[in-house]
Structure 1
């Protein structure tokens, strides 16, 4: 049997509580059953440390992260499945997801049940 290869596009690295609960905790289980998962967080540890320090968001870091994520979309075809935590590009329309459709890349999206609050309660 061929091993299943999954590209997990998480929001954060392990430092981000939401990603830890929604994605990272399942990796040992998946590995046990022969599912190879490559995890690529949108926002890295440095960004999370800065955010958790109360200093706010780093717009240049977010821009770079979006460019890196776009590059990962173009290599998604190498995987059997793309696992998206919440959304590919927060605060943007679903262009990335539409691109995966055009490229015929199968994907699943793991939505938090209250994801809409990222937008309706956002201070703008």
Structure 2
């Protein structure tokens, strides 16, 4: 944690409350399930982004080419490749499969398989 962030947290009282809780002898709180799911979601988005980018490069297509093949708009594809689209809708995933020439459900499988794997490791 950087000095600036720590300073802001101290100013807002968040870090101070955590330190006081630890001083009172309370054990460190267990990681929240939401944090675990959020971390897993970040990892599966990265896996999808990597595979989409690799497929596009393998086929030597631009993002506009994928969009013209029935895929999502180039802007949406760019967001997916940069892991900026936190929850791609099923329609977007279907279009992604069509635009990249993948069998139906491939992108959804990539997205959800990694979530299940990460949750199993977290437990």
TM-score (normalised: structure 2): 0.25
User: Whose helix fraction is larger, Structure 1's or Structure 2's?
Assistant: 2
Choose between structure 1 and 2: higher strand proportion. Answer: 1
